Structure 1
Amino acid sequence: MSAPKAADPPEAPPARSLLRGRLGEGLAVVALLVLHVALAESSLVRENATVDEVVHLPAGITYWQQHTFRLYHHNPPLVRMVAALPVVLAKPVMEPVYQQPSWSSPDPSPSTFSQSFARMNADRYFDLFTLARMVMPIFGVIGGLVVFAWSRMLYGPGGGLLSLALWCLCPNILAHGRLLTTDAGSTAIGAAATFAFWLYLRKPNWLRGAAAGVLLGLAQLTKFSMLALYVVWPFLAVIWLMLAVRPDERFRTIGKYAAHGVLVVILSVLTIDAGYFFEGVGTPLGRFEFASTSLTRPVPGGLRQAPATKNRLFAMHWPFRENRFRGTILAGLPSPLPSHYLLGFDEQRIETEGILKRMNRAFEALRAGDLETARAEAMSADASVQGYPVYLNGELRRTGWWYYYLAALLYKVPEGTWGLVILSVASLVVRRRSGADWADEVCLAAFPAFLLFSMSVLTDINLGLRYVLSIFPYVHIAAGKVIPWAIGLGGKPAHWAWGGIASLLLLTASATAWIHPHYLTYFNVLSGGPDRMPPRLIDSNLDWGQDLVNLQDWYRENAEGEPIGLAYFGQINPTLLEGRGPALRWYIPPARPGGLVLLQDPNSPTLRVSGPAGQLAPGYYAISASIVQGLPWRLYDPSPFVWEPCWNADQDAFSYFRRLTPIHRIGHSIDVYKLTEQDVARVRAELQTPIPRQAD
């Protein structure tokens, strides 16, 4: 009996068909990236610079022109430098700005410098920021290419395209990808670095290790949160070693990892140094004046003569804390990192740790001349902290919620994306995977899990979704696994799966189209949307000062020439609007007793402020949503003789507006009211009630 005939091998797809498929795939990638850029660009020109951007751009200009990073080293400089380059080429007025004390003093003030920049460039101010912002979507393109390439390698072309679509249509990526801030840049570069490290794990060699090291350094130049990669990557190497490397090759692979790891660290540090033009590299560790608890220790005796500073945070800490390396064998060790990188990290640690209440009490006692009380407070065991005012679901307080970021994700991620994420998690359960496959999945999940845990448990910073924006590329990549899952179903289940995937993707696209161009204010329907009262979240989640120009446009069409009370949450002086059309006739509304405090000396003979209105009157009012909900802020004065913010609005200074109904919302972020005599009478009692003082 003859042996059965062997089955014919499957025919390879014709070269022409393969080429056609690759061409279609490439065109789809280009189309999605072009759509992403078009959406971002058309949005950014319709909103003005946000709170942080106002300071970022002038600082970035100084990096190029002065070759020093002394101004606003609160974050690493890469993103600012990218955005500032076209503005530098546009030749803004800078020489008079450099002659101001805000630059020439040993302790330069970023906010004051930014106000000088605005005053000297008033006629081009909004155009310069638009020019800087127009280059920011380049990070969205970089992130999109990483998302597509990583997902395609794991889940095929279909998975890659689905992941890329989720990235390009994500309202949160579009929101921050237009802004001159560090969040989108660190998200894209951080994902690119981890992708390079994942490629290294799959095939470890010197070249891939070098690429991962350089990208790791670039990630550090975007945001200090990327320091987490130094913790996550070794963990991924261990997981890969256990799940994806054969037992007989593990010992040799460990040797490779060790040798290549040294190269990765060295190249990352050199990249950081180069990004700072090597400024301050080699400075002995003992010379720095740090302030964070992590880098300081109590001063022997509890008090010292501290260096002079205008920075309140430093003035609060330096008399009672000193560099923990000073007086140790490490004091003379040359720092391998730039000085302003270390000083910036120190400032960030203060923000992360929160302000110790005892340090505030010690500082106030020192100012009053009570040295013994100052020492006692500084050396007490009280570890309670007070951070920034934070808000969630109608409550404003000084301590955060451990579930804040989980809630922010629940509210601000589109329902369609949530559906695909849940579907992708379910597919992990129903499909068998090898150890190597599980190693791939861990590589996607490790950084998001570590960042969420760190921000939720190890810090008390509850200021916005942007602090966890860098988890989005990994989530979008992981969602791509629903495509091979659907392909493997076959029959009617496959038909339903494809229909569900298409419907969920369409739901995400619809959400993005609906909120355009106001991406920063996006909230999904299930959370109540951006106009829910009270809002779920405020600050950079909703109202970050982005709609001042849109308020001007509304005013021109609906109330031109009429006085309008304005309490604006932003760092742009409304006087600058004169450069783009009819100016607002604005004034500061009356605040509750004790709600407004003059930041300058009221007895100064040169002080010429208009101040708030003496009483509430019928008419138009425009109040930023964050201020309506009670967030403290600094307000400008309409006097032409005062340029910088000179009024401090305390928490709930304008809370009486919460009892009134706005007639319109500008970009979902500024509430416009038209008060009648009846409205004024209704809130008169609250307006005359002093604001309760918060306990220390």
Structure 2
Amino acid sequence: MQNQLRTSKGFWSAISILLLFQFCLGLYSAQKLTVTHDEYWHLPVGLLGWETGRFDYDRLNPPLIRTWAAVPLLFTSAKAGAPARSSDPADYGDAFLQANPENYHQYYALGRIPILLLSIASGLLLAVWARELFGTLSACLAVLLWTMSPNILANAALGTQDLAIAGFFLATVYCGWKFAKQVSWKWALITGLILGLAQITKYTAILLVPILMIQWFLLRVKNTDVNHDIPRKTILARWGVLLLVSCFVLNAGYLFQGSFQPISAYQFQSSELKVLNQLPPLLQNIPLPLPRDYLMGFDLQRFIMQQSHPTFLDSEWTRTGFRSYYLYTLIYKLPHGVQFLLLLAAFQWFKQRNQSDYISLRTLGMLLTPVVLLVCIASLSNNQLGLRYILPVLPFLFLLIAPLAEQLDLEKNKLYSYAIIVAALTLPFSLRFAPDHLAYFNELSGGPENGGLHLIDSNLDWGQDLYRLKEYLKQHKVDDLGLAYFGTVPPSTLGVPYRLPPEFHPEPGTYAISASLLQGRPYSIRKQDGSRHNLGNDALGYLRFFKPKARLGYSINVYELTPEDVIRWQTAVSRVQRGLPIN
């Protein structure tokens, strides 16, 4: 098999099969899953961008991926509706649903396909770079990790920016690697183009500028393998072209709307940009070479990220974030096969760090820089909502694992080789949860059934199982449903009347409760008429006392409480209040 994979035909056949499998599995998930929380307004806002040429409907995300996802809808009869300008982006989703009541799910499913295509393109790039860095077998292992990753599969089947920015992080650092090695005009232009596209994908891409600079020094300082004969002026000129191209692409992505407005035209809210408003009046006349909607959106997002926000980790809540949140997220959400391979990769590097046939110190630094920088900055944030915020670290972790494939030698290192093979063979095991990749938790964390004890929100419950509730209600007659749904699709689309559950105390009845709300997350839930009700902290936590009758996917629990159940809960509460143990 090794010999076959080393041939061009065998290599590209293997890569094609893996990526085709990922694409088909993504299509299946795209059809099955309910429109998720943020996805509800991303697609309509993207379609509005095509229809109006404006990008100020929702500035919290740049426009590229939204408009990209909406491309298939241009060939259908889909309408964005006529929404009024709103500070609540879910209103754009409501208008879209009202304009397309019969086909709205199919339109969202179509909008997920362009993201799947970006995932395939990212997998191809991963194969190309791993092959150039380490060899053919390493590339096959990297793509296997990519296509079998439940976290990649989850985001590849959703019409959001998270998978796309992971791909653009990979593409930008790859182009930066080429540019640092060759310092050519060609790679300056290509790197600037990709960096610019990344900037109009997600604001996280601002980190790519320091990453490229760190990468440059890691790969060139005191490195005899690169050309040092290039004049300094030429290097500076090519760096200048790279940054200018990036800036041009960013402005073009917003159709140059509001570009080059002076600082005095803005009133910033975030601590980073407020500094500009405090400059002397003369300096406030300096024009900013960025689109107005981009700057306002970046400022708004930074302001939101600096505010206190409820964050849940291991059954504890805080409003200032956990500094260890993303480390634990990786511990709980990465498959054990990937974790074991990372340990083997670290062991192998320490064992062979002085040998030229493994990862050099420069390459290690280049691949670790985006991982460390992104995880550290995300860990300092108050707003921690899920692994998706650090999804770009995954392709770099896969590249760090990839060289293990070149170490396979069943004659000289039988035990070590079998360890790698067995770990790689466990990777498809996570697919047994399809299409519920979003709710994936590894075995030692208790699996997705117990994921809510560790993490919630987009790690487990992002509103993806409302259609399952609809099917459940078709099969089980429920006269008086109490529903608290963590999602933006109006539950009235179920076609079944419902009421809100009682808060802080149980009553007999049938209840369907989202996992995030079950763990106590405050949230503005929808009533039957579409209006909203603010659910307080742990308002439905009493339901954790009871065993659910059914679990729909892994994000909605169904409870049937009898008068006896309520009495049992009241007795347990009374005993706790008196300091007595619960029987």
TM-score range (shorter-chain normalised) is over 0.9
Distance 1:664 1:436, change over 3 A: closer
Q: Distance in 2 between matches of 1:525 and 1:436?
A: 30
Distance 1:109 1:395, change over 3 A: closer
- Of the three residues 220, 230, 244, the one matched with 1:266 is 244
* SS of alignment partner, residue 408 of structure 2: helix
* SS of alignment partner, residue 466 of structure 1: helix
Q: In the TM superposition, what whole-angstrom CA distance separates every residue of 1:77-121 from its partner, at most 9, and x where no partner exists?
A: 111111112123323234xx33x5x23xxx654232322222232
Residue in 1 aligned with 2:223? 244
Report 1:101-500 matches (<5 A): 102-103=84-85, 109-245=88-224, 250=228, 252=230, 254-296=232-274, 324=277, 328-354=281-307, 387-431=308-352, 432-434=354-356, 437-457=360-380, 459-487=381-409, 491-493=411-413, 495-500=414-419
Q: Distance in 2 between matches of 1:179 and 1:334?
A: 37
For the 8 Å contact 2:36–2:462, the answer to whether it is kept is yes
Residue 505 (structure 1) shift? 1.2
For the 8 Å contact 2:55–2:254, the answer to whether it is kept is yes
Q: Distance in 1 between matches of 2:447 and 2:497?
A: 32
Structure 1 counterpart of 2:496, which letter?
A: L
- Of the three residues 481, 485, 489, the one matched with 1:572 is 489
- Of the three residues 59, 64, 79, the one matched with 1:73 is 59
Q: In the TM superposition, what whole-angstrom CA distance separates every residue of 1:304-329 from its partner, at most 9, and x where no partner exists?
A: xxxxxxxxxxxxxxxxxxx6157522
CA RMSD in angstroms, aligned pairs only? 2.3
* SS of alignment partner, residue 565 of structure 1: strand
**More displaced stretch, 116-125 vs 545-554:** 116-125
Residue in 1 aligned with 2:561? 675
For the 8 Å contact 1:561–1:585, the answer to whether it is kept is no
For the 8 Å contact 2:6–2:137, the answer to whether it is kept is no
Q: Distance in 1 between matches of 2:397 and 2:239?
A: 27
Q: Distance in 2 between matches of 1:506 and 1:225?
A: 34
Q: Distance in 2 between matches of 1:93 and 1:427?
A: 55
Residue in 1 aligned with 2:517? 627
* SS of alignment partner, residue 76 of structure 1: coil
Q: In the TM superposition, what whole-angstrom CA distance separates every residue of 1:415-456 from its partner, at most 9, and x where no partner exists?
A: 001111111111111123459932222211111111111112
**More displaced stretch, 203-212 vs 280-289:** 280-289
Structure 2, unpaired ranges of 5+: 575-583
* SS of alignment partner, residue 389 of structure 2: helix
Residue 341 (structure 1) shift? 0.4
Q: Distance in 2 between matches of 1:19 and 1:455?
A: 38
Residue 462 (structure 1) shift? 1.6
Residue in 2 aligned with 1:608? none
Distance 1:120 1:543, change over 3 A: same
Structure 2 counterpart of 1:491, which letter?
A: E
- Of the three residues 507, 516, 519, the one matched with 2:434 is 516
Distance 1:177 1:253, change over 3 A: farther
- Of the three residues 75, 96, 100, the one matched with 1:89 is 75
Residue 210 (structure 1) shift? 0.6
The number of equivalent residue pairs is: 570
| Structure 2 residue 463 is the aligned partner of structure 1 residue 545 | yes
Distance 1:274 1:87, change over 3 A: same
Residue in 1 aligned with 2:445? 527
Residue 475 (structure 1) shift? 0.7
Residue in 2 aligned with 1:8? none
For the 8 Å contact 1:155–1:481, the answer to whether it is kept is yes
Q: Distance in 2 between matches of 1:251 and 1:392?
A: 53
Residue 348 (structure 1) shift? 1.2
**More displaced stretch, 500-509 vs 17-26:** 17-26
For the 8 Å contact 2:4–2:11, the answer to whether it is kept is no
* SS of alignment partner, residue 656 of structure 1: helix
For the 8 Å contact 2:341–2:401, the answer to whether it is kept is yes
| Structure 2 residue 539 is the aligned partner of structure 1 residue 653 | yes
Q: Distance in 1 between matches of 2:343 and 2:12?
A: 28
Q: In the TM superposition, what whole-angstrom CA distance separates every residue of 1:541-566 from its partner, at most 9, and x where no partner exists?
A: 00011100011112212x13532211
Residue 256 (structure 1) shift? 4.1
Residue 203 (structure 1) shift? 1.7
Residue 135 (structure 1) shift? 2.4
Q: Distance in 2 between matches of 1:223 and 1:81?
A: 13
Q: Using structure 2 for the length normalisation, give the TM-score.
A: 0.93
Residue in 1 aligned with 2:579? none
Residue in 1 aligned with 2:581? none
Report 1:608-627 matches (<5 A): 616-617=507-508, 619-627=509-517
Q: In the TM superposition, what whole-angstrom CA distance separates every residue of 1:489-527 from its partner, at most 9, and x where no partner exists?
A: x6241x32332222111111112x221110000000011
Residue 687 (structure 1) shift? 10
Q: Distance in 1 between matches of 2:97 and 2:58?
A: 16
Residue in 2 aligned with 1:371? none
**More displaced stretch, 403-412 vs 495-504:** 495-504
| Structure 2 residue 10 is the aligned partner of structure 1 residue 57 | no
* SS of alignment partner, residue 60 of structure 2: coil
* SS of alignment partner, residue 560 of structure 2: strand
Q: In the TM superposition, what whole-angstrom CA distance separates every residue of 1:613-642 from its partner, at most 9, and x where no partner exists?
A: xx822x32110000000101112112xxx3
- Structure 1 segments (4+ residues) deviating >6 Å: 17-20, 685-688
Q: Distance in 2 between matches of 1:137 and 1:342?
A: 29
Q: Distance in 1 between matches of 2:565 and 2:5?
A: 69
Structure 1, unpaired ranges of 5+: 1-16, 298-322, 355-386, 578-582, 594-614, 689-696
Q: Using structure 1 for the length normalisation, give the TM-score.
A: 0.78
Q: In the TM superposition, what whole-angstrom CA distance separates every residue of 1:394-423 from its partner, at most 9, and x where no partner exists?
A: 112212111100000000000001111111
Distance 1:520 1:436, change over 3 A: closer
Q: Distance in 1 between matches of 2:432 and 2:467?
A: 21
For the 8 Å contact 1:243–1:439, the answer to whether it is kept is no
Distance 1:436 1:551, change over 3 A: closer
Residue in 2 aligned with 1:368? none
* SS of alignment partner, residue 135 of structure 1: helix
* SS of alignment partner, residue 512 of structure 2: strand
* SS of alignment partner, residue 136 of structure 1: helix
Distance 1:481 1:20, change over 3 A: closer
Distance 1:54 1:524, change over 3 A: same
Structure 2 counterpart of 1:555, which letter?
A: L
For the 8 Å contact 1:634–1:646, the answer to whether it is kept is yes
Residue in 1 aligned with 2:578? none
For the 8 Å contact 1:285–1:326, the answer to whether it is kept is no
Distance 1:418 1:18, change over 3 A: closer
For the 8 Å contact 1:523–1:529, the answer to whether it is kept is yes
For the 8 Å contact 1:569–1:626, the answer to whether it is kept is yes
Structure 2 counterpart of 1:628, which letter?
A: L
